[in-house]
């Protein structure tokens, strides 16, 4: 099989696709002929040695993919060879073939592979964040920072599906137009507008979904209402913000971490239930995953450029050919 291979931590542009032997089958697993895989910001951090998890060398990055089942272990009851599926793995998705645990592999019906490959992480993270961690309620106000990115746009759609008023904040008019198409009620361009002042004009917010961090976190947090919840998703803008803790005290707000990957392993039944609800929203048209661009696996560096240069509006997908 061909696979993006990491032999040492170094800039993402220096990693290459190589031939690798297939992994032997293991109990509770399925072998998938990968057609598409979703690229995420943590994948870039991982290949450069900047992520909290540092796998031993050599390894193949990538955590979400979609394709066709070609083989399965004897103890896998709910799938068969030929099934079209999506899967989540710790690593290994950026390859023409992957061995995936059956507990995190699910049928996708006639959903396009590119769509299925980009749904699990962004919608899974965002739904876990808004539902289990943010406890977003019907009628509340949700602020989404970095709202045109993969997880941000998913949070916009899910927030609307959950009955919230959604304020989308992004860096360009083009990105905000995409957010509006996906259901955002109010738009803030934090390049040209004062984020804090504009949020106050809009009455503040109950929940903040923040995959951006950096200079946007504190002014946004200052507009939270009483018992507000600030969700820590990531730090795509660069710096990890240093939040004055008196802000949490003054309005009894909560700062809540959202680490979806570990939660899926600790709470697999809840994770499966969430994914079932997300697929239900897709089938009913409440969410419409947006693909920003697709790239062949061999153009991994170009795909990463789209994320690091913050040009992505929706999901970036790698295809295996």
pLDDT tens-digit readout, 44-89 = 999 999 988 899 999 999 999 999 999 999 999 989 999 999 998 9
- Answer whether residue 183 shows pLDDT above 90: yes
This prediction's pTM: 0.85
If you write DSSP's letter for every residue of 111-141 in order, what string do you get?
--HHHHHTTHHHHHHHHIIIIIIS---TT-E
Of 103 and 122, the one with more pLDDT: 122
Do residues 75 and 101 lie in contact, with contact meaning Cβ atoms separated by under 8 Å?
no
Instruction: Report the candidate in 66, 77, 7, 58 with the shortest Cα–Cα distance to residue 32.
Output: 66
If you write DSSP's letter for every residue of 189-226 in order, what string do you get?
ETTTS-HHHHHHHTT-EEEEEES--GGGHHHHHTTEEE
CATH numbers and ranges of domains, the chain = 2-119+289-319 (3.90.180.10), 122-261 (3.40.50.720)
Please give the Cα distance from 49 to 19 (Å, whole number). 22
Whole-number average pLDDT of the chain: 94
Of the ranges 44-48, 202-206, 233-237, which one carries the lowest mean pLDDT score?
A: 233-237
Please give the Cα distance from 64 to 155 (Å, whole number). 18
- Answer whether residue 237 shows pLDDT above 80: no
Please give the Cα distance from 44 to 205 (Å, whole number). 32
The pLDDT value recorded for residue 192 is 95
The pLDDT value recorded for residue 150 is 86
Do residues 147 and 170 lie in contact, with contact meaning Cβ atoms separated by under 8 Å?
yes
pLDDT tens-digit readout, 131-164 = 999 999 999 999 999 999 889 999 999 999 999 9
Residue with tokens 């106050």: 200
- Answer whether residue 104 shows pLDDT above 90: no
The pLDDT value recorded for residue 319 is 98
pLDDT tens-digit readout, 261-310 = 889 889 988 988 998 899 899 999 999 999 999 999 999 999 999 999 98
The pLDDT value recorded for residue 149 is 87
Do residues 217 and 241 lie in contact, with contact meaning Cβ atoms separated by under 8 Å?
yes
The pLDDT value recorded for residue 310 is 83
């Amino acid at each position: 099989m061909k696979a993006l291979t990491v032999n040492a931590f170094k800039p993402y542009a220096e990693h290459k696709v190589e031939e690798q032997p297939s992994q032997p089958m293991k109990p509770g697993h399925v072998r998938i002929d990968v057609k598409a895989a979703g690229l995420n910001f943590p994948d870039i951090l991982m290949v450069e040695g900047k992520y909290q998890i540092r796998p031993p060398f050599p390894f193949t990055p990538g955590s979400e993919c979609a394709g066709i089942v070609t083989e399965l272990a004897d103890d896998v009851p709910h799938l068969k060879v030929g099934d079209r599926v999506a899967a989540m793995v710790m690593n290994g998705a950026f390859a023409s073939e992957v061995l995936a645990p059956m507990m995190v592999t699910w049928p996708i019906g006639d959903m396009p592979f590119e769509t299925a490959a980009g749904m699990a992480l962004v919608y899974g993270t965002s739904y876990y964040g808004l539902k289990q961690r943010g406890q977003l309620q019907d009628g509340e106000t949700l602020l989404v920072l970095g709202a045109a990115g993969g997880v941000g746009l998913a949070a916009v759609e899910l927030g609307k599906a959950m009955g919230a008023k959604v304020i989308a904040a992004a860096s360009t008019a083009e990105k905000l137009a995409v957010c509006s198409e996906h259901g955002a009620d109010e738009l803030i361009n934090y390049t040209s507008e004062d984020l804090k002042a504009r949020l106050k004009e809009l009455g503040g917010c109950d929940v903040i979904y923040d995959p951006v961090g950096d200079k946007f976190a504190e002014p946004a947090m200052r507009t939270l209402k009483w018992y507000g919840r600030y969700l820590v998703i990531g730090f795509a803008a660069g710096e990890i913000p240093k939040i004055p803790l008196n802000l949490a005290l003054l309005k009894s707000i909560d700062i809540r971490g959202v680490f979806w990957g570990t939660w899926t392993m600790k709470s697999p039944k809840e994770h499966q239930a969430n994914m079932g609800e997300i697929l239900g929203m897709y089938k009913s048209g409440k969410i419409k995953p947006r693909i920003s661009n697709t790239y062949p696996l061999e153009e991994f560096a170009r795909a990463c450029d789209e994320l690091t240069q913050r040009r992505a509006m929706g999901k970036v997908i790698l295809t295996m050919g």
